[in-house]
Amino acid sequence: MAKEQLILFLGTILFLCVESKYIAYNTSQGVVPGKLNVHLVAHTHDDVGWLKTVDQYYVGSNNSIQGACVQNVLDSVVQALLADKNRKFIYVEQAFFQRWWRDQSEAVQDIVKKLVSSGQLEFINGGMCMHDEAATHYIDMIDQTALGHRFIKKDFGVTPRVGWQIDPFGHSAVQAYLLGAEVGFDSLFFGRIDYQDRAKRKREKSLEVIWQGSKSFGSSAQIFAGAFPKNYEPPPGGFYFEVNDDSPILQDNPDLFDYNVEDRVNDFVTAALAQANITRTNHIMWTMGTDFKYQYAQTWFRQLDKFIHYVNKDGRVNALYSTPSIYTDAKYAANEAWPIKTEDYFPYADSANAFWTGYFTSRPAIKRYVRLMSGYYLASRQLEFFSGRRNSGPNTDSLSDALAIAQHHDAVTGTEQQHVANDYSKRLAIGYKEAEQLVSSTLACLVESSLNAGCQNPVTKFQQCPLLNISYCPASEVDLSHGKNLVIVVYNSLAWRRNEVIRIPVIEDNVAVHDSNGTEIESQLLPQAEAFKGLRNFYVKAYLGQTPPNTPKYWLAFTVSVPPLGFSTYTVSTAKRTGSTKSSVHTYQSNEKSRFEVGQGNLKLMFSTDEEKHSNYVNIRSMVDKEVEQKYLYYSGYNGSHQKDQQNSGAYIFRPNGTYFINHERQVPFTVLHGPLLDEVHQQINPWIYQITRLHKEKEHVEVEFIVGPIPIEDGTGKEIRDFRTDWDLEVNQPIAGNYYPINLGIYIKDNKTEFSVLVDRSVGGSSLEDGQIELMLHRRLLLDDSKGVAEALNETDCVADDCRGLTVQGKFYYRIDPLGEGAKWRRTFGQEIYSPLLLAFSEKDDKDDWMNSHVPTFSGIDSSYTLPDNIAMITLQELDDGTVLLRLAHLYEIGEDKDLSVKTSVELKKIFPGKEIKEVKEMSLSANQERTEMEKKRLVWKVEGSLGDGYVPSRGGPVDPTELAVELAPMEIRTFIIYFDDNDMPNLLADA
C-alpha cells in the first residue's frame, strides 16, 4: 500500500526521463572583483605519526586504530586533478609525499610534475612535517624545513610560498619571522589560537594580521598571518565529503529523488556570508578537508565541482578552486591595511580548563633524545663534510630523516601513542647508528692522516657511548692493568675553542690522564652513586637486552681543551705516578646539623643540612650573593571523569588538581664530594628523586643533575613533577604572564640589580608564577586520557621481562645569577655548549705504541688562527649531495641583549675553509631553496594599520663581497649560503674512492 508520498504524487504526473544526463560542471571561475570570493582550498592534514606511525599512515595499515592511508590520498588526488584542470589541491607533509613519490612509476612522476608546474598541485609549508613550535629547537625546524624544501626544489623546481601550521598547538614568533619570512613565505596560516583571543579577533576582524615576530628584524621579517575562524576544517553547515561522511551531498539529478540544489546553495551562501562578517576584504578561505581526508579525492572534488557550478550560477557569492597562495595574492591585491601582531600565540587553550601546556614536558625522555640527536646531527654533518659525503652511505641522511619526522607536532611534543613514540625512537636510533659509523670512520681517517688518500677502511676502530648519560660506556669500562691505554678523541662541533670537564665511567681507580702532548693532566675520580647503578642496570637491560658485564666504580673527570670544529686526544692509562685524585666524600646524616660550602672557583654554594631547601649563592668575582631555595613538588593530575567538562590532565593538557610538596617533613641526607676539578652535593630527595648539585672549579654556573622516577601511581593519581624555586629575593620587573610556556633554551627573570637564568637540556614547560620564582616541569605520568585525540594515558613504562616500571628520567639543568645585563653572554654561549656537547670517541692502544706520534692528535676544521666571534655560531655545515656546501651562520643576540655582543659582526669565510678555493658563494633563503636576492625581490610589502611609531630600522648584514668573502651578521641574523669550491680542489678533506 502506498504510504504518505501518495499525497504528493497521485496529483502529478512525472515522466522519468532515462536519457543520458551527463553534466559538465563549470569550475573555471577565478577571482571576481566586487563579489565575495570564497576560496575553496582542498587539503588534507596528514600527521607524520600520531595514533599510528608515519609508515602505517602512509600505507594504511593498523586501521583499527585510525582509518587513514596517505597513499590513497595521493593516488586519488592525482586522478582527481587529471579529471579537471581547474581543480587544485595543496599538499603539505613531505615525509609522506616523498614516500609516495618513490613508489611511483616514471609515467606517474611525469604527470605529477606537470600538475605541480601548472599549479594544480601546490606544495604548501613543504617541510618534512608540520613541526611543532613549542618543543622544537629552531635548528631542527630549519633542518626539517630545508630537507623538504630542497627535495621540492630539486624534483619540481618550485619553492613553497605559504606557511601552513594549521594544527600545532599554539604558535611561536620564531615561526613567523624565521620559519616564515626568512624562508621566503608570503603568508602563514594556522588553526589553533587561544579561544578568547580568537573570539576577540573575530569581533575585531583581526584574525588576519601582519605578524612581526622579531624585535630585531621588525618589519623586515614580517608576514601576513591568518588564524582560521575555527580549526582547519570546512565551515559549519555540512561540507564534509570524505567517503562515508554524512554531510548532505549536493544532489542535482532531477531524475532522482532528494534534488537539493537550492538548499545546498543557500547553505553555502549562508556560511560564506557568516565568515565574510568576521573577515576583512571580500576574500575568505575555506579549508576543505581535515585530518587524513581525500582518501578518495573524487568524493570531495565531485561536490566542490557542483558547488562552484551552482553557487556561481546563483551569483550571490563567487566560489573558486584556490590555494593559500592565490588567496594571499588576492588579499595583497586588496591593498588593505592590516593590524600588527608581535610576540607568540602561546599558551593555547581551546576552553577554560584546557590549556595545551602539558605537552611542553610530556615524554621528557624523547624530548631529550631528540635534542641529543639534533646536536649529534650537527656534529656528524661537519665530519661528513670533512671526509666527503658518500651518497651510498654511511651518511647522515637517515638521521636527518628521523630528526625531521621527530619535529612533527605529535612527535617531540609527546602527544603520540606509545607505539608511535617507540617508532620515532627507533628511527632516531637507526639514524644515529649510521651517523655514528660515519663519525667513527671519519675520526679514524683524521687521526690516521689518510684524508687525501680517500680513506675508506681506516685501521682505527672508534667506539662511542650513546648511553653515557646513565653511566654506561663499555668502551671506557676496560681493563687497563696490562698496559692497555684508552684513547679518547674529543670532538668539538662549536666554532670556538672550548675548555670543559668531561667524565667517563672507569672500572679502576689507579689511572692517569695524558693530553695530546703526552703530558699528564689533572683528573678526578668520583665514586659512582648507587642511584646510577640501578638506573644503568635496569635500562641497559631494558634497551639492549643484556646486563652490563662490568660495574664501573668511578667517574673519571678531567678538563679537555678542544679547538673549533676540531678534536684533541687524551689517553687514560694505569697511573705510574700520582694519577687521578679521588674525591673526598662526606655524608651528612639526616639528624646532623651542619653548614658546608662547595665550589673551588669563583662560585660557591653554602648548604645547611637542617634547612634543605636553602643555600647561599655567592660569586666572588661578580659579587653576586643571593639566597636560593630549591624544592621538588608535584601537581596532582586532574580527573575530570565526574566533572561537567570532563577535562583530564593528559599528554596535551596540563590541568593541575592541587600542588604537593615533596619530602617537606623529613631531612634529606647530603653526601658531599670535593675534588680538584669539581664538587658535588648528592641528595636522595625521596625514594624516586635523586639530585646532584655540581660546581666546576672553572665555571660560574650550577649544574643540577636529576633522576626522577618511576613516579608512583599506587594512589591512582597521575603526577607532574616540578622543580621549584621560590623566595628568591629579587624584585621582579617582568614577570611572565601567569601561565606555562615552552622552554627550549632556558628561562630567566630579572629585577633591577640581577638576573637569574636557568638553562635546560631539552624542551620543558615552565613558568614564573610568582615574583622571583621559576618553575620547570620535569616529568609527567598521568593515568587518564585528556580527550584531545591520542586516546591513551601518558603513562610511560619500561620493562625487563615482566618487571615494568614507570619511566625514570635523567637530565640536567643549569643556573646562574648575574648582575643585571650580564646574563645573556652565559645563556647564549653556554646554551650552544649544551646543544652541542663534546663528542667522545674511544679506542684502545697497546702500551708500546706511541699514539701521539703515529696519529694526528689534534685537528681543527677551520684555520688554526681563527675562531668564530663570540656572538656567532655555525649552525649548519653540510656537504650536499651535489658536492656543494651548505653553511648557516647565526648571530646569537637580539638587539640590546648584550652591551658588547648585540652588534653587527663579520665572519671570514676563507678562514672557515682553509686550503680550499671558494669559487662562488650564493646567499640563500633560510631553507636554501632559492637565492636570497630572488626571495627579496618577490617579497610582498604589506600595509599595516597605524605605524610602529619608533622609527626603528632593522639592521642586516650587507652583501658578501666575492673577493673578501666576509659575511656580516646583524643581531639575530641567520644567513644561509651555498658554497661552490674550485673544481680543482678536493671537494672535501676526504674524497670518495
Nearer to its own copies, 364 or 765 (CB): 364
- 3-state class (DSSP) for residue 486: strand
Q: Which helix (H) or strand (E) holds 80?
A: helix 70-83
Per DSSP bridges, beta strands 603-608 and 485-492 are: unpaired
Cβ contacts of 97 within 8 Å, gap of 6 or more: 74, 91, 123
Nearer to its own copies, 515 or 798 (CB): 798
Per DSSP bridges, beta strands 208-212 and 222-227 are: antiparallel
Nearer to its own copies, 67 or 669 (CB): 67
**Shortest distance in whole angstroms from residue 624 CB to its own copies:** 35
Per DSSP bridges, beta strands 943-944 and 918-924 are: unpaired
Residue 157 burial (CB count, 10 A): 11
Nearer to its own copies, 151 or 286 (CB): 151
Report the alpha-carbon distance of residue 669 to residue 659 in Å, rounded: 24
Q: Where are the alpha helices (DSSP H) in 651-730?
A: none
**Shortest distance in whole angstroms from residue 246 CB to its own copies:** 4
- Name the one residue in this structure whose C-alpha cell is 596517505: 70
Residue 482 burial (CB count, 10 A): 8
**Residue 791 corresponds to which amino acid?**
A
**Residue 688 corresponds to which amino acid?**
W
Nearer to its own copies, 102 or 482 (CB): 102
**Shortest distance in whole angstroms from residue 434 CB to its own copies:** 6
Q: What is the DSSP letter of 360?
A: G
Nearer to its own copies, 72 or 493 (CB): 72
Nearer to its own copies, 422 or 590 (CB): 422
Do the Cβ atoms of 764 and 777 come closer than 8 Å? yes
**Shortest distance in whole angstroms from residue 196 CB to its own copies:** 33
**Shortest distance in whole angstroms from residue 234 CB to its own copies:** 15
| Cell numbers placing 825 | 653572554
**Residue 321 corresponds to which amino acid?**
Y
Nearer to its own copies, 253 or 594 (CB): 253
**Shortest distance in whole angstroms from residue 736 CB to its own copies:** 29
Nearer to its own copies, 422 or 517 (CB): 422
Closest CA to 744 of 332, 193, 134: 134
E-strand stretches of 437-565: 485-492, 498-506, 511-514, 520-521, 523-527, 554-562
Nearer to its own copies, 47 or 75 (CB): 75
User: Would you mind telling me the total number of residues written for the chain in this entry?
Assistant: 993
Closest CA to 701 of 850, 558, 839, 500: 500
Q: Where are the alpha helices (DSSP H) in 54-166?
A: 54-59, 70-83, 94-103, 106-117, 138-156
Nearer to its own copies, 292 or 815 (CB): 292
**Shortest distance in whole angstroms from residue 255 CB to its own copies:** 7
**Shortest distance in whole angstroms from residue 591 CB to its own copies:** 37
Nearer to its own copies, 354 or 809 (CB): 809
**Shortest distance in whole angstroms from residue 633 CB to its own copies:** 24
Report the alpha-carbon distance of residue 309 to residue 521 in Å, rounded: 81
Do the Cβ atoms of 214 and 178 come closer than 8 Å? yes
Nearer to its own copies, 366 or 730 (CB): 366
**Shortest distance in whole angstroms from residue 124 CB to its own copies:** 22
Nearer to its own copies, 399 or 513 (CB): 399
**Shortest distance in whole angstroms from residue 645 CB to its own copies:** 27
**Shortest distance in whole angstroms from residue 98 CB to its own copies:** 7
| Cell numbers placing 422 | 617507540
Cβ contacts of 612 within 8 Å, gap of 6 or more: 663, 667, 668, 683
The distance between the two most distant Cα atoms of the chain, rounded to a whole number of Å, is 115
Nearer to its own copies, 348 or 360 (CB): 360
Closest CA to 372 of 760, 757, 55, 708: 760
Nearer to its own copies, 106 or 665 (CB): 106
Closest CA to 564 of 963, 874, 846, 159: 874
Question: Quick one: 106 exposed, middle or buried, by C-beta within 10 A (0-12, 13-18, 19+)?
Answer: exposed
**Shortest distance in whole angstroms from residue 791 CB to its own copies:** 15
Do the Cβ atoms of 862 and 854 come closer than 8 Å? no
Nearer to its own copies, 294 or 942 (CB): 294
**Shortest distance in whole angstroms from residue 429 CB to its own copies:** 5
**Shortest distance in whole angstroms from residue 536 CB to its own copies:** 13
- C-beta contacts of 745-751 below 8 A and 24+ residues apart: 745/827, 745/831, 746/814, 746/827, 746/831, 747/774, 747/776, 748/823, 748/827, 749/774, 750/820, 750/823, 751/820
Do the Cβ atoms of 790 and 416 come closer than 8 Å? yes
- 3-state SS of 825-842 is HHHHHHHHHHHCCCEEEE
**Shortest distance in whole angstroms from residue 74 CB to its own copies:** 11
| Omega before 347 within 30 of 0, i.e. cis | yes
**Shortest distance in whole angstroms from residue 23 CB to its own copies:** 8
Nearer to its own copies, 133 or 434 (CB): 434
Q: What is the DSSP letter of 453?
A: G
**Shortest distance in whole angstroms from residue 554 CB to its own copies:** 24
Cβ contacts of 2 within 8 Å, gap of 6 or more: none
- 3-state SS of 533-570 is HHHHHHHHHHHHCCCCCCCCCEEEEEEEEECCCEEEEE
- Name the one residue in this structure whose C-alpha cell is 626568512: 182
Do the Cβ atoms of 607 and 670 come closer than 8 Å? yes
